[in-house]
Amino acid sequence: MPDSGWHCLRKFTSSKALQSIMGYAYDAKQMRRVLAEILHTNLGQAQWEWLEQRRQQFASGQDSTRYTMTYSAIPRFVGKTIIEPEEVLRRSMQEIRRGFTLRAWPADRIARSWWLLHLPTEDSSVYFRSVERLFLAAEMNEQVALYGSLPLLAFPESFTPRCAEGVRTNIGDVFEAVALDNPYPAEYLEEGSWNQLVLKAFFMDVPVNRIQGLDQRANPKLAHMLSDYAHERWAAGRPVNPLLWRPVGPFLDEALYEDMRRLEETGSEVEKKAAVLACRASSFAPARSLAERFPQWDQQAEQGELNWEALS
């Protein structure tokens, strides 16, 4: 097959040498090849030939209008069949760009990510304007593809404001593209925007265990924000997602510990297990004592049988 052409957690990316290659923080050329192989393997011949023809046309003329038209037209010519890449290709993507995954992505979304990797990067300002034009003109599915492709973009620091804008969206599918299975927010968002992402994920009741960097980016301010949110839910007689206490545990203090006592006294079994896990993550002395009051679960947590993934 022909070649088809961090701020807080920057350690997620590959070597520093790669960060200077045409503005990418990873080996974009290899990623382009892997995505091309996935598409070539899973699409029909006519679908792949259409993509390849468009690639060749853009490579010969780099017409920005034609590029944008192709981005918008991809679903009509490629379709929306869900593609599950082979295990070897999934591993390859993880080796090239840690954290990037195509979890139940349709063909058009994968093709759009592949298409983004053909934008010229010689001039960072031109590149940024080109991607921004796509965002500004995007309908919902195009936004989903763009936000899901943030980890693949060149000059990644430039798109931090765009990512923060995605956190503020009220469109569920778009928010999930930003927040779930996406390494970019944890790597680049400032603390305030990151905290809003996590809080909003609980508010929108999305599977928060799929937020990458949830443990690494936990911080005291977020812990207290989540506690306040829990108190609002309790006051309204509404349940609280047990996973909410996952980013809280490491920052338990005298005030937050009262939430653990409430879970111990009145919580469901799952909530009590969440309290044990949160207390085990804390250096606050009373928290350790609370966990020991549930020896069976404390032992299961010690052995790895009880964990946040199991609760989710």
**What is the domain partition of the chain in residue ranges?**
1-206, 218-312
Single-letter amino acid code for the residue at 254: E
pLDDT over threshold 80, residue 146:
yes
pLDDT over threshold 50, residue 19:
no
Residue-wise pLDDT tens digits, 182-222: 999 999 999 999 999 999 999 999 999 999 999 999 999 99
pLDDT value for 21: 60
Single-letter amino acid code for the residue at 66: R
Buried b (16+ CB within 10 A) or exposed e, 123-161: eeeebbebbeebeeebeebbbbbbbbbbbbbbbbebbbe
Residue-wise pLDDT tens digits, 216-227: 999 999 999 999
Q: Is 209 helix (H, G, I), strand (E, B) or coil?
A: helix
% of the chain at pLDDT higher than 70: 93
Q: Is 24 helix (H, G, I), strand (E, B) or coil?
A: strand
